Amino acid sequence: MRRENVDVLIIGGGAAGLAAAIEAKKFGVKTLLLERDRSTGGVLNQCIHNGFGLHVFKAELTGPEFMEKLWEELGNLDEVIRNNYTVLKIDPEKKEVITLSEEGIVVFKPKALIMATGARERPLNSLRIPGSRVAGVFTAGVAQKMVNIYNRLPGNRVLIVGSGDIGLIMARRLKIEGMDVVGVVEIMPEPGGLIRNVVQCLDDFNIPLWLSHTVFKIHGKERLEGVTIGKVDENFKPIPGTERFLEVDTLVASVGLIPQNELIEDFVEMDAINRGPVVDDLMRTSVEWIFAAGNNVAIHDLVDFVYEEGKIAGENAAKYVLGEKLPEVKYRFERGDNVGVLLPQKFTGSQPFKMYVRSRKSLEKSAISFSGRTIRKFNWKIRPSEMIDLVVKNFEGLPKEILVEVNQID
């Protein structure tokens, strides 16, 4: 067993972790990034579609391009990045991070820690669909990795379950690669992903989208042979008589992402709705030396936002290590009407910051308010699937506990 002291330690080499490393390094502190895969980049590696970087690079990039730009920004990768390191445990008392890698157990002793562990996919099994657990059922990310990295098709005829962005992107991708994509079922009455992806991934390729539909039954013994789909009512109960059999050998499920927080959830204050740690505008968690950024904090829509968060975490972790006195938290948000995902949950009021909110419902015209005071109006339709981002800069007269609401306006 080897021990290593480090100033800023980052867990996870996706967009948030890389951005945090770029920023922390600028302050001249000893920065290390641990990645469990063979190389960094995270899901950007396999997201070969365009649509990344509009905010950060003012260009529409593909995932690998965005990733390589971060590598270039970071400079000498070997100095900062340790690939093939898995974190087993974080000891909050001893402030130690225990890892496993090719060199065995290594215990890192960081002055500050940044959690950038991202999210994982929710499996189809969690939907408890009747039928055997046959081969041919994949999550969208796994199918994406097979097709885009390993050059393997998961099957011949596929139904996509769930219309999240990855599901829509994969419908197009599998169609382009020659699979017969019979359609996409979505249990909700509205698509889960961005409308632009419904247009360019489904409509462009004549792939049907069945809303308020789900898989009732999985057929087959060893390999998937088909599925029964049908319509559901407003309580998501199957409507008898709407069943339809689809002959498919592959199911690709895009049914949500789960922030990964097993390493910290026992000793860091968690937000049950975000399913991530409670953070402030400096991306500090409730534990002084631990920061967090990216999809482990809450599921974001855009990698650009994840990158910006990573930079904030990197900057403040470095300042903390250098002994700079960081401002204290003064304000706390509380969720009111119609507010789902929300971050940060508290803030210092020392500088303008970006806030992210998901509405629980689709609203034609709406306004976001802080304890009754309108902060911003939206003259366009907002949806749960599209995160609202706004800059908060006017702190005058704000109460310490701020009730955030999103309401329909005329």
Distance CA(241)–CA(243), nearest Å, equals 6
What number of residues does the chain have?
A: 410
Q: How many residues bind other proteins (CB under 8 A)?
A: 31
- What's at 80, amino acid-wise? V
Single out the segment in contact with other proteins by CB under 8 A; choices: 55-63, 92-100, 119-127, 336-344. Answer: 55-63
Single out the segment in contact with other proteins by CB under 8 A; choices: 42-50, 213-221, 249-257, 332-340. Answer: 42-50
The only residue of 198, 202, 263, 298 in contact with other proteins, by rule CB under 8 A: 198
Chain centroid, CA 78 distance in Å: 26
> Does 376 contact other proteins by CB under 8 A?
no
Compare residues 69 and 335 and give the one whose CB is closer to other proteins: 69
> Does 381 contact other proteins by CB under 8 A?
yes
Greatest alpha-carbon span in the chain: 67
> Does 65 contact other proteins by CB under 8 A?
yes
To the nearest 10°, report the CA torsion of 91, 96, 100, 106. -150
Ranges within 200-229 binding other proteins (CB under 8 A): 200, 204
> Does 386 contact other proteins by CB under 8 A?
yes
Compare residues 61 and 321 and give the one whose CB is closer to other proteins: 61
φ, ψ of residue 168 to 5 degrees: the values are: -65, -45
Closest separation in Å from C-beta 90 to other proteins: 33
Compare residues 200 and 242 and give the one whose CB is closer to other proteins: 200
- If one counts every other C-beta atom within 10 angstroms of the C-beta of residue 30, the result is 17
> Does 246 contact other proteins by CB under 8 A?
no
> Does 391 contact other proteins by CB under 8 A?
no
The only residue of 98, 106, 195, 326 in contact with other proteins, by rule CB under 8 A: 195
> Does 358 contact other proteins by CB under 8 A?
no
> Does 407 contact other proteins by CB under 8 A?
no
The residues near 208 (Cβ < 8 Å, ≥ 6 apart) are 182, 183, 184, 202
> Does 48 contact other proteins by CB under 8 A?
yes
Compare residues 265 and 301 and give the one whose CB is closer to other proteins: 301
> Does 199 contact other proteins by CB under 8 A?
yes
Structure tokens at 410: 């005329």
> Does 153 contact other proteins by CB under 8 A?
no
- If one counts every other C-beta atom within 10 angstroms of the C-beta of residue 272, the result is 6
Helix, strand, coil fractions of the chain, as percent rounded to 5: 20, 35, 45
Single out the segment in contact with other proteins by CB under 8 A; choices: 5-13, 50-58, 239-247, 309-317. Answer: 50-58
Burial of 1 (0-12, 13-18, 19+ CB in 10 A): exposed
Give me the DSSP letters along 225-249: -EEEEEEB-TTSPBPTT--EEE--S
Ranges within 156-185 binding other proteins (CB under 8 A): 176, 178
Q: Give the pairing of strands 2-11 and 31-34.
A: parallel
Single out the segment in contact with other proteins by CB under 8 A; choices: 93-101, 123-131, 284-292, 379-387. Answer: 379-387
Burial of 149 (0-12, 13-18, 19+ CB in 10 A): exposed
Ranges within 261-300 binding other proteins (CB under 8 A): none
Residues in contact with other proteins by the rule CB under 8 A:
48-51, 54, 60-65, 67-68, 148-151, 176, 178, 194-196, 198-200, 204, 301-302, 380-381, 386
